[in-house]
Amino acid sequence: MKTSEASSNRKQQSTVRWVVAIATMALIFDGYDLVVYGTIVPLLLGDPTQLGEVTPTTAGALGSWALAGMMVGALVAGAIGDYLGRRKIMITGIIWFSVAMGLTALTNDVTAFGALRFATGIGVGALVATAGAVVAEFAPKGKRNFYNAIVYSGVPVGGVLASLLAIILLDAIGWRGLFLIGATPLLFLLPMALVKLPESPEWLMARGRTAEAERVSIRTGVPIHVLEPVAGSDKAAVAAEKIGFRALASKKYAFPTLLLGFMSFTGLMLTYGLNTWLPQIMSQFGYGKDFALTFLLVFNAGAIFGGLIASVGADRFGVKRTVCTTFFLAAVAMVLLTMHLPLGILLALVAVAGVGTIGTQVLIYGFVSNYYNSAARGAGVAWCAGFGRLGGIFGPLFGGLLMAAGVQNHVAFYVFSGVAIVGALITLGVPLRNSEITAKQRPARVELATADAEK
């Protein structure tokens, strides 16, 4: 019995490692795609032979097409993902964005480039919306936020990778070569996913495919008893169960879904707003262009490492409490950035701001992934990724309005700090569910239940 249990645990650990690795690599290339365009904008603006005449206005519009595509991709994945399954959406997303990146490298005019940026964004959005659901349904309960943080940290890692490869390779291979690198997951990640990414047993069980769920459970080591008995094996109950966006509109989820969407909106507004305007704001404090890359690298590195540390706290103390804390830390850090402090302290505060913005958004995806049952999980993550993307679009625009209005640099930080406080307050309003009761809270509830039973 012990030998069988140990073998099952080894299978589960191996499955989780593969699932997390595949999802992480997918999001690394998603982050690569989002940032690589920014690295070639100066080339497109200065050389009409690349795509034709590209003005700053045109360049801004081309950048927004990918974000719009992400919103569409996330919402479409949410609409169909809870019906088709996690595996199909992940594999389709990998194929979609890889092919679109490769075709983008072959374009010769602005219109085709913009259309393919939108198409690439659709694939990216589908993967961002599905990755959290995949992790939530394979990772052990005590480590779900940690594994989720690893996966979604792939986005800033991809951004750093795009920046470094552009510095090293742009002159040698041109912008087309950089986009072809973004298509390489078709060669290695797709075969890996086809072989090593199973369908979620939890999703199979929720759809009433009990026998198939049991076979996958035995093969992967993912135990059946951790699955949510959404509809069991009763096919009539499965048919009656609200799936996808219909479930989000139910009495059970409607209000929390609204709050979770606005949490994601504020998180992505801060993430994209500060990634866009942090160097410009700091330049008004007297820091030259040489510091621009340093501030951005520290901002994103803080998000990667600080987000992983925060995820451990989320698994131990509860993700809601942790998200409130990181939002608050971002607010405090941005207020302190307005003071004339030594450079080392400023860099530390920028790193904390990264934890409280990008790192917070990573935790939000984990919060959402674990909040819903399997019938609504894909739609829930997709809603937050899609609606939140509006915040991602609005953040840079809002920062631009502040800069155009000539406000002082410290006012911009105060405004973004206020957004972080609003995010914390919204988070406080989200009702707790049983899955978010921490280990410290459970004994007290057990004692209370026992006392009630004895009465």
Asked if 310 and 438 sit in the same domain, the reply is yes
What is the residue-averaged pLDDT of the chain? 79
Max distance between CA atoms of the chain, in angstroms, equals 83
Asked if 297 and 173 sit in the same domain, the reply is no
Asked if 172 and 314 sit in the same domain, the reply is no
The answer to whether residue 235 sits within a structural domain is: no
pLDDT, mean of residues 276-282: 70
Query: 139 is in which domain, residue-wise?
Result: 1-197
Asked if 251 and 141 sit in the same domain, the reply is no
Asked if 341 and 278 sit in the same domain, the reply is yes
Asked if 288 and 170 sit in the same domain, the reply is no
Distance CA 54, CA 117 (A): 15
Domain boundary among 169, 197, 225: 197
Asked if 258 and 120 sit in the same domain, the reply is no
Return the pLDDT at 239: 45
Q: Say what the pTM is.
A: 0.73
Asked if 42 and 137 sit in the same domain, the reply is yes
Domain boundary among 197, 230, 256: 197
The answer to whether residue 226 sits within a structural domain is: no
pLDDT, mean of residues 3-13: 69
Collapse the DSSP code of 285 into the 3-class scheme (helix H, G, I; strand E, B; otherwise coil) and give the result.
coil
The answer to whether residue 77 sits within a structural domain is: yes
Question: Percentage of residues in the chain with pLDDT exceeding 90?
Answer: 19
Asked if 313 and 164 sit in the same domain, the reply is no
Return the pLDDT at 231: 41
Residue 8, pLDDT above cutoff 80: no
Domain boundary among 197, 231, 263: 197
The answer to whether residue 211 sits within a structural domain is: no
Q: DSSP character for 291?
A: G
Return the pLDDT at 241: 55
Distance CA 240, CA 238 (A): 5
Q: How would you class 434 by CB atoms within 10 Å of its CB: exposed for 0-12, middle for 13-18, buried for 19 or more?
A: exposed
Q: DSSP character for 434?
A: G
Question: For residue 400, what is the domain's CATH number?
Answer: 1.20.1250.20
Q: Give residue-wise pLDDT tens across range 241-273.
A: 566 677 787 778 888 889 998 999 998 888 877
Asked if 296 and 414 sit in the same domain, the reply is yes
Distance CA 32, CA 291 (A): 22
Return the pLDDT at 447: 38
Q: Which two tokens stand for residue 44?
A: 């497109």
Distance CA 205, CA 222 (A): 12
The answer to whether residue 207 sits within a structural domain is: no
Asked if 191 and 259 sit in the same domain, the reply is no
The answer to whether residue 205 sits within a structural domain is: no
Q: DSSP character for 432?
A: P
Residue 306, pLDDT above cutoff 60: yes
> Total domain count for the chain?
2
Asked if 348 and 420 sit in the same domain, the reply is yes
Distance CA 455, CA 449 (A): 10
The answer to whether residue 82 sits within a structural domain is: yes
pLDDT band per the 50, 70, 90 thresholds, residue 202: confident
Return the pLDDT at 112: 92
The answer to whether residue 279 sits within a structural domain is: yes
Distance CA 54, CA 314 (A): 45
